[in-house]
Structures are given as C-alpha cells and as structure tokens.
Structure 1
C-alpha cells in the first residue's frame, strides 16, 4: 500500500510521521511525502530521510497550494500501490494500523476500511476517540448510502482506500485553499456507495496542539472566515450527496452539521469579540432560513441543537451576557437549559420572556434526556465541600422524583473516575417571587451537600491533572440523567493544601469555557510552578495582537507546479 504524507513548514514533526508509516512494515510499499513549498527546511528533512530509506519518495511543490487537498491529490496521482492512506505531517500511525486495515479489506472485499481515530492532546497526553459509537465492533456496510450515521465521521485520514475505487469514481480532494476539504472528499466517497468495513482498532493518532504558534485549520476557529469556510464545505458536501441521488444522506449531513458544528461554535461564542458575534449570527441565520430542507433538519435535530437553532432564528442579533452564556450552556455536551424558565402564550415553554422561541419537543423527552441544570458552589480546602442545586424544568423533574446524586471526578486525560460520592436530594421548594415578579418564573429546586472530598489525594496520569465534575441524577423509577455541573463563581479560588507525602498540593476549582466545574490538582512545588507558568503563558497570549479576521479566498485554484526530489548526492 501507499501512505501519502503531506507537509508544509513542519520540519519538527514530519520525521515522526514518516517513521510511523515506515514502522508499519513491508506491507507499506511506499511513502509518498509531498512538501507543499515549505520555507522552514521541511523539504530538506524529507530528502535526507529518502536518501536513507528507499521506500520514501519525496515530491516538492514549487508553489504553496494553501490547503491540504492539492498535496493529497499529488500523492494520489503518483501512488502505485492498490491501497492508499493519508497521513498529516504532525500526526502518527499507531503500530499495527496498516495490518489491521488491510486484513479487514481482504476479509470483507471492501472498497474502504475505516478504523478508530484517537485525538491526542499535546502536551498533556489526553486521548479521546473520535466518534467512538461508530467503531465499537467490526462491521461491513455494503452500501454507505444506506447508513447515514456514518456521516458523523467526516475525517479522511483514518481510512484505507482502494485506489481503483477512487479512480473509477473520480474521487479527489478540492484543490487549492479549501479548508475542511475532508467534508467534500468524504461526501464523494459516501455518494459513490462504497462498500465500507469498520474495525474497532485505533488506526490513526490525531495530535492536537492547541498551544501551537500556528493552529491547524480545525482549531483556528476565532475568525469569521473559519466559520464561513466550514459552511462552504458543508454546502459543497450536501450538494454532492443530493445531486448524486442520495437525498437522505444529504438530509443527514444537514442534521449532523447542526448537532456538531453549530453547537461547537455556539459554545465558544462568549469568547469572541462583539464584531465576530454579530457577523456569525447574521451568517448563521442566513444558513438556517430560506431552505426547506434545512428547516426540516432543524425539526429533526436533538433538543439542544433544535432549540439553539430556533433561538438564533428568532433573534435578529446575538444576545448579551447572560443570554449568551445560556446559549453556550445549551450547546454543551451534555446540553444544559439554564434558568430562568419562561412560559409563552397558552403556557408553552419558551427560551425567554423577551425571546419567546418555543422549546419544541420538551414534553416528549424522558427524564434521562432532559437538559437539566445542576449548580455547584465550592468551598475548597483539605476537605472540599460542594453544595449542589438541581433546578426543575417546567415540572418534569418533580414528576420524576429526584432522589440522589452521584458526584464524580473524572480524569480528563484518561476518562477514569477518581472519586465518586453519593448524596440525597432535599426538596428546597420554590423561591419566593419578588415584587413585580410573575409567578411563571418560579420553579422547584432540590439541594444536596457533598462534604469531605480529599482532592489532594487524587492520583492522575499527569503532573497537573484536570478533573471534570459529573453529576448522575437518580430518579424514583431508577432512571439516571448524567450531566456536568455549572460552576457558580464565588467559590472558585485557588488554595494550597498541606500533604504528608507531597508537602503541598495546589487545588484550583475553575469554570470551563461552557461554565462547567472542573478542578486542577497540582502536587508538590513543581506542580504549583507548572500552574503558575501556564497562567503566565495564557496572559501573554491574551496580550498578543489578534490575527486578521478575514474570509478565505475562493476555494478552487489550479494545482501548483511539481518537481521531483533531486537525486541523492
């Protein structure tokens, strides 16, 4: 098989990528490394590797293409093996990946074989599987057009492709500067009704460097041009599916966009400038309106995505402050519907009194599915205390009967539960409405106290561990609603806790960007210095001038000239 490695100005990482492909063994007949006109010595690094390794062939673009599609197409044009796979210069193939993919391809006579993609956060090492529900067991999908759930995985690099299949259906990436080119390529594969096998094994390590000086396209979401590029790629993908005779897949792609992309950008909206928010809101309203198929997708989406989209459509301008934070919380995973809760005409639940967008479908949700809100006030110390408040949702929780809550601390790097404590809910009744307040704003509440948490004793896989806080709300009938908890600001203060073995442990409760409670636990003086250094780095980055907020140029541009690598000297 052929592994196509693409690189631009990545001399520090590309050797590891190429070595990870070569380490797959002799079943990798060739590694085609395409240098997209780098200026940092990447091309020379690749040439040195090629002089020592006969399986490596290097191609140098003399002009930078501006995207990932053109260098991948160059590699496809030059590939000679019957199977191809793509690898970015800052990622890795885990040991045995090619063997597992090729074995499944033979076993199932597949056109495409997909495996699990692991997102690895650098430098803390946290690993999270991408779309894990699609890769739980080995399976064969004889016609991808009959499996719309596959559209949730838009990544092209965790898949092995039969080159004959790609050539027969003329499947290539968009050329030139076309961010999110994977959306289009994957749509073309699915529209061709590929015979696709999936394996549960990890076959690709996607290394995410959020603190890198130059962020990848998928991480650089702080410009309006990034959102416009994503929308343009989404529209191109939907067009590909619809005009290929797969209207059902096109509709599924619209729903996927609402469930994943819309919610992701909404979660981050409070972090953006007023100018960005206004432009994003205007663009998104235009995307959601005027297309009957998109309007139907809004109705078909899950409650959080549906309500968020309806709220955007109902408001000509983005909300401010609390309204924006409520939207970010609703777009979270899991989504939380924050109080206050308002009723519109005829007692119908609505987003707010000022913005009466109906919360369509609320009555059909089970207690497990409701976007409940659990607030947390923290008193940190040697025996940390957390006071919880559970808010009712239009009487739905009172009818279900909340009985207890399991508060869990989960290591973000490993998803391991390090601490779990159960407490009983106490009915706190309804808050008394103040003068002039409408009775509709009153709602039931329950409180619980979790006391004596010895957080300084937690052991983790990283010197400065981040622990997310989850709440499992248990109801009278045995059902469980799992959610995160909202951090209330007053208790978010850093404390140093004495420890017999570690001398001191720095404990820092904080709110994540969507308002969820988390803890940093740093043992010893070294850990405390790491937290201080990270804070100093964030302050420095905040003071750096922002990047220009411009949209990308037109997506399609001619392929750049290509010259072969020079002969070894």
Structure 2
C-alpha cells in the first residue's frame, strides 16, 4: 500500500456525471427513479437505464421515456444476471462521463444531489465523494438517516485508514466516483446473484485508498417497502441463505482489505459486523424456526472463530457480548435475553449472575462470558432494564415503570426522576411529555433493589392515530442520565386492545404491544371507521 497521501486530482475538463439506474420487473417505480436523475439538471450528462431482462414492461416504459429525452439511454441485458452487481458493471463499462453514480429503480435522487457531490469532488480533487442517505419507510414516509455520524459536517479524508468508520457505510449509491479511478483500479461489483454486492464493492474502493470528500447534504433517498409482495434481496432475511450471503460478503470484504494491507479498516469491518449485523439478526432469532436458529448459531460461531481478541475488544459492548455468548455456547440459548441485549438501546434482563470471584458474568454456567465492563462503564452507556406496563383507561392511561438494579451501579448513581416521551413513529415528533419520580420498591435499593415510577398519559388528546414509541431519560443523583426504552412486560391481560374515549375522535382503540426488540410501544385506531377497520382485520385473521 502506498502510504503517501493521494494528491488532489485536477478537475476534468468536462465534469459531468453518468447516473446508472438498474432495475428488474419494477415498472411501478423505475420511471420515477429515472426522472429524479434527469431532474438533476445539466450536470447529468447521461442516464444509463440498465434493464435486467424484465418481463413486466419496464423496458418498454424506459424506451418510451427515452424517445423524448436524449440524455437517457436504455441498455437491455439479454440474460438476467440474478443480482445488482452485473448491471452496475455494465454501467461502469459504458459510462462516457468523468464521474459515475448508481441509483436503484425503486429509489430516487433528491433535488440538488448531483450538484452538491460534483462541487465537493471538484473542490477537493476527490476520487470518491459521499453524502447522506436517508431510509424512507413506505407507506409511512418516516425517514431515518443512514450513518449520519459520518456526514455530520464536511470533511476531506486523504487516507481512508485514518477514518476507519468509513467501512460502516457499505452503500454504493450515496457516492460519486471518478470513472477513471474505478477503471484504473478494476473496482467492480461481484457478478451474478450476489446479495450483498455493496459490501465487496465498498471494500475494493477503500482498498484502493482513494482521496475522499464527505458532505452533509442529502444525496440519496432509499425507499424501504417492508410490506411489498416481494422484498428486496437484502431485506428478505427470513431464510438462512440470506445470512450465509452476508457472511460470505463480509468475509470477502475483510480479505480484500487485508490483502491491501488495510489492517485498521479490516478490524473496523469486523467490529462493525459485531455491532450491526450480529445485533440485527440476533434481535430476530425468536421469530425464526428452531432449525433456522440452530443453523444461524452454528454458522455465526464458525465465522466468529476467525476473529481475534482485539476485534472483540474494539466492538461496542452489546455486540461483543452477543458474539462471545455465541462462541461460548454450542447451541442457541437465552434468546429472550439476547434479543434485549441486541436492542438499541441495549437492555440486560435479570437475573444478574456473578462468577465465584464476584465478577459479573452472563450466567453461572457461562462464566467465560464476562460482563466486567459493566462495573466501569459510565451510566449513560449501561444496559439498564426498565420494565414497562401501559394500561389504557378512560380517565388517564397509566404507565408504570420498574427500574432494575445492575450489579450495584444503579444504587450507586441514585435514581431520581424519569422523563417520558410519547413519540410518533412516522414523524419522529413528541406527542406528549411527562415526568415522574422513582421510589425504592424493596429494602434500601441495594444490590437486589428496584425502583418504581408512574406517569399518566392522556390518550384522548392524541391527534392522528398510528404507532407511538415510548422513550425514557433516567436522571440520577450523581448528575448522570441514561436514555432507554421500556421493556414490555408480557403478563396476561396487559398487551390487549382497549377502547377509550377521545375528545377528538369520540373513541380511540389503544393497544400496548411489544416490538421485535422487546420494547413497549402503542398502536391507536381512531373513530368508528378505525374501530371497524380493526375488527375487520381481526376477523380476517380468524377465518384465514
């Protein structure tokens, strides 16, 4: 690897962009994607729409659009590739502009994206320029930024190894690439059916040590359609083949970085795997079949055995704990606890075991899974557990919270108060705020103690019905705080739908429920029409 900083590249004489749009059987969305690329203006010299042998009329729609738009060129593949990599490679090969970027047929480029990327590339002489991608959940429209910490402010990275967290942004679509850079270093996507092709492509880019510019501008809107009849390859995580594809892509990515002597980036990739991939799939294990769980555990264990101690030590604590548990146990176990530890924020459910020498451990029979870090981490990072019970009633809905001790750390900090927020999941807006005071429930609040607080929510004042998350901020006598979500208590009669009066809608159906990660949340349906809709869905489930 050349350790010298790559010099800034002179701006090309004609700094324009080729946008490569790939699609397969996506007639419902592909024209929106292409139009969003064309709407970027004259900076986009051409849009290459690569159709991967669609059978739903997508290619004909593109041909019709191209008839009136000279910048749009339709490329029809003769054989379906089975993945996203080969059509993107076709675009790299055919691009005639000095820069290239990628767009999937079901996503869009926001206005001004190309201009912002192109300006930064020219200003810094960068071979790769990256900006903020937002995940837009449909149909709700809720937007979540992807890896926002990387794009909080403009930055120039002359050597990627100096910013190892770059490996966490495995997307290829929120970036602008110098075409000659990709061709000179033979940076291509894996061909054929390769589910996580972005992982390998990104590793090849970073292994080539490009000069990179980062900008805070929104440059890509990733549409996430979880209710679609056919999920995207990466979102369809129900089968073990998806996890195996992720393992294969990650293993290949790490090997590429090591071969390029990018050891810091390879380590960062492994720690990111523990913190992101392992935690994400572990949260879903209790939704899978026993056969899937056994296979996932076995394959994950085999891959984690290739990690070294430093990889684990560099990872955030929740992923590190889950990974060490998988290594320590030959078969799946404690999945309810695993799910909560893998949540964001993490929660460690009781019981809290200790080794014979007093060190906190996962369980008495697995003392090698140490939790000693809990004795030293600041309170704001501790995986404290707060049980939550929400009981909707006509005269105020009571939220009862039970804060558990955690190896003496909670009593040491001194629980005082808790701020409660009811947050609209779609918009991210706070609908109600309440404050409550903790009181010790048993003894002196010592090692085995717990603390109780309760707040009354006014559901009758809620406006638009929908789904609400409950967020907590715990305050302690030592001045510290911890953000948390309540763990949903699953006792008979608690998580059920209740009709309560509403000042705005007459009647409101309120149902506390547990999310996939075990957090307490709330669904509401308003008015007679909402009630009828809920009853119809319930009847449909009963008869089908």
TM-score, normalised via structure 1 length: 0.89
Distance 2:542 2:254 in 1: 41
Q: Name whichever of 36-45 and 113-122 sits farther off.
A: 36-45
2:537 aligned with 1:517: no
The residue that corresponds to 2:321 in the other structure is 307
Task: Report whether the alignment pairs 1:366 with 2:378.
Answer: yes
SS in 2 for 1:351: strand
1:459 is aligned to 463
- Which residue in 2 is equivalent to 1:348? 359
- Residue 158 (1) aligns with residue 174 (2): yes
Given that 1:263 and 1:332 are in contact with CA atoms closer than 8 Å, whether structure 2 keeps it comes out as: yes
- Given that 2:405 and 2:450 are in contact with CA atoms closer than 8 Å, whether structure 1 keeps it comes out as yes
Tell me the equivalent position of 1:405: 418
Q: What is the alpha-carbon distance in structure 1 between the residues aligned to residue 480 and residue 370 of structure 2?
A: 27
Q: CA deviation at 1:532?
A: 5.0
Quick one: distance in 1 between partners of 2:540 and 2:343? Answer: 26
Contact 1:431-1:443 within 8 A present in 2 as well: no
Does residue 504 of structure 2 align to residue 501 of structure 1? yes
Secondary structure at the aligned position of 1:333 is classed as coil
Question: Residue 445 of structure 1 corresponds to which residue in structure 2?
Answer: 450
1:71, distance to aligned residue in structure 2 (A)? 0.2
Q: 1:431 Cα shift?
A: 11
Contact 2:413 2:480 in 1 (8 A): no
1:527 maps onto 2:533 in alignment: no
1:465: Cα distance to partner?
2.0
Q: CA deviation at 1:196?
A: 1.0
Alpha-carbon deviations, 1:304-327, whole Å to 9, x = none?
1111111111111101xxx21110
Matched residue, 1:84: 100
Structure 1 unmatched runs, 5+ = 433-439, 544-569
The alpha-carbon distance between structure 1 residues 529 and 43, as it changes in their structure 2 partners (threshold 3 A), is farther
Query: Is residue 282 of structure 1 aligned with residue 286 of structure 2?
Result: no
Deviation of residue 536 (structure 1)?
A: 7.0
Any conservation in 2 of the 1:455–1:521 contact (CA below 8 Å)?
A: no
Question: What secondary structure does 1:203 align onto?
Answer: strand
Counterpart contact for 2:352–2:361, Cα < 8 Å: yes
- In structure 2, the residue matched to 1:474 is 475
Q: Does 1:489 align with 2:490?
A: yes
CA contact (8 A) 1:411 1:467 kept: yes
Per the TM alignment, residue 402 of structure 1 is displaced from its structure 2 partner at its CA by 0.8
Name 1:335's counterpart in structure 2: 346
Counterpart secondary structure, 2:363 = coil
Q: By how many angstroms is 1:528 displaced? A: 3.6
Change (3 A) 1:298 1:218: same
CA distance in 2, matches of 1:368, 1:17: 42
2:250 aligns with 234
The runs of 5 or more residues in structure 2 that have no matched partner are 1-16
Q: Which runs of 4+ in 1 moved over 4 A?
A: 529-540
Q: Secondary structure at the match of 2:219?
A: strand
User: Which residue of the other structure, out of 128, 131, 155, is the alignment partner of 1:115?
Assistant: 131
Matched residues in 2 for 1:137 and 1:533: separation? Answer: 49
Deviation digits for residues 65-87 of structure 1 (CA, Å, limit 9, x no counterpart): 11100000001111101111100
- Aligned equivalents of 2:50 and 2:120: distance in 1? 28
Deviates more, 1:376-385 or 1:2-11: 376-385
- Contact preservation (8 Å) 2:375, 2:407: no
Q: Which residue is 2:54 aligned to?
A: 38
Per-residue deviation, 1:530: 4.9
1:254-310: per-residue Cα shift (whole Å, max 9, x none)? 000000000000000000000000000000111111x2x444211221111111111
Ranked by relative contact order (alpha carbons within 8 Å, sequence separation 6 or more), the top structure is 1
CA contact (8 A) 2:25 2:57 kept: yes
Partner-residue secondary structure (3-state), 2:475: strand
* Cα shift at 1:219: 0.9
TM-score of the superposed pair, with normalisation by structure 2 = 0.93
Per-residue CA deviation, residues 177-232 of structure 1 (Å, 9 max, x unaligned), is 11100001111111111111111111101000001111012210111000000010
Q: Is the 8 A contact 1:4 1:84 kept in 2?
A: yes
Please tell me whether the aligned partners of residues 492 and 509 of structure 1 are also in contact (alpha carbons under 8 angstroms): yes
Residues 303 and 362, structure 1, Cα contact 8 Å, conserved in 2: no
Deviations 1:417-458 (A, max 9, x none): 2211111110112599xxxxxxx9x7210001112x112322
Q: 1:129 to 1:354 in 2, by over 3 A?
A: same
The whole-number CA distance in structure 2 between the counterparts of 1:317 and 1:103 is 53
Shift of 1:345: 2.0
Partner of 1:131: 147
SS of aligned partner of 2:278: helix
Distance in 2 (CA, whole Å) between partners of 1:411 and 1:390 is 24
2:420–2:473 CA contact under 8 A, matched in 1: yes
- 3-state SS of the aligned residue for 1:32? strand
SS in 2 for 1:248: helix
Structure 1 counterpart SS, 2:516: coil
**1:210 aligned residue (226, 235, 238):** 226
Match of 2:7 in 1: none
> Residue 255 of structure 1: SS of its match in structure 2?
helix
Distance 1:539 1:254, change over 3 A: farther
Taking only aligned residues, the RMSD between alpha carbons, in angstroms, comes to: 1.9
What are the superposed Cα offsets for residues 482-510 of structure 1, whole Å, 9 maximum, x if unpaired?
01111112321111222233222221111
